[in-house]
Amino acid sequence: MNESRWQLDGYDFTLALEAMGRDRLPYPLEYRPPRMAHDDDFQRYRQQCARRLRTVFDERLYRALTVLLEPELRVEIYGVHGSQQTTAVGMHAGVAGRVAVLATQLPGRARKSGGDIVLTQLRADQLAPRLVAGLPQVASGRHEPLRARRGDLNAPVYSRHPTQLSPVEDLQRFFRRPRTGTGEITVYPGYTVDTRPTGDGYAFLWLDYSDDGRYLLHNHNTDDFTLTPGPPDEILRQLRSRMEAAHQARTRTRP
């Protein structure tokens, strides 16, 4: 299958979804049209975007949007990066059979406004590597894997050794370092019609530290978690594992 690619203005993409019967962008994609003083100005802007969309909205784009909006499983990725963590990374992908469609949002004027949407149709087995390649590139962290409890992150420390940190102190010091990136990757079986969480996702997070590198955080329950270094091949392995889990979950619930 040949790869296909479209780049749509944020409002052009919004109109394309309206044509598909949707009134919300799939999470985490978002777009706010420019503010206009009068409704007439907005209607002219809308008509201009609609004319531009009509030049590219063909059967191929329709089929790609169908996969994106009504997939057998979907992947949602949202994070922030940069020295102040103000630059957003947003990707939403759908898989149906052997076909995948990835929607990547380019940076906009502001973090909440969102830029152009790049749609890519590709083979399903190419999706996971493409998603990993779309993350901010950061070296792997150097700390050994650790298992801890969330309750220890803010636990009071009543006595301190003059020369040696306790395990809880060491944990708190690790997580309180400044971060240059934070994000979450979640895989869900099936599709959703709005942006509300569905509670059936398989997720993990990435945490980037400027003095160290990237780590992956895996929640086991509401308190216990594991932190591991996050080189690209490990992110790919974890993503594929969750995609397989979501696929199996969908297979079990299929009538």
How do residues 61-79 score in pLDDT, each as one tens digit?
A: 999 999 999 999 999 999 9
Crossing angle for the helix pair 59-69 and 10-19, nearest 10 degrees? 80
Burial classification of residue 45, based on how many CB atoms lie within 10 Å of its CB (0-12 exposed, 13-18 middle, 19 or more buried): middle
Domain that holds residue 75: 4-141+176-253
- 208-228 pLDDT, tens digit per residue, is 999 999 999 999 999 999 999
pLDDT at 159: 61
Buried b (16+ CB within 10 A) or exposed e, 152-173: eeeeeeeeeeeeeeeebeebbe
Distances (CA, A) of 179 to 24, 80, 145, 176, 232: 31, 10, 18, 8, 18
The verdict on residue 146 lying in a domain is no
Q: How confident is the model at residue 37 (pLDDT cuts 50, 70, 90)?
A: confident
Q: What is the pLDDT of residue 57?
A: 97
Q: What is this structure's pTM? A: 0.92
Residue 87 belongs to some domain of the structure:
yes
- Report yes or no on 116 lying in a domain: yes
Instruction: Assess if residue 151 is contained within a domain.
Output: no
In a domain, 159, yes or no: no
Q: pLDDT tier at 127 (50, 70, 90 boundaries)? A: very high
- Interval 72-111: pLDDT, tens: 999 999 999 998 898 999 999 999 999 999 999 998 876 6
Does any domain span residue 168? no
pLDDT band at 164 (very low <50, low <70, confident <90, very high): low
CB atoms within 10 A of CB 193: 12
- Give the number of domains in the chain: 1
Q: Residue 91 domain-assigned?
A: yes
149: in domain: no
pLDDT, position 195: 72
Q: What is the pLDDT of residue 163?
A: 59
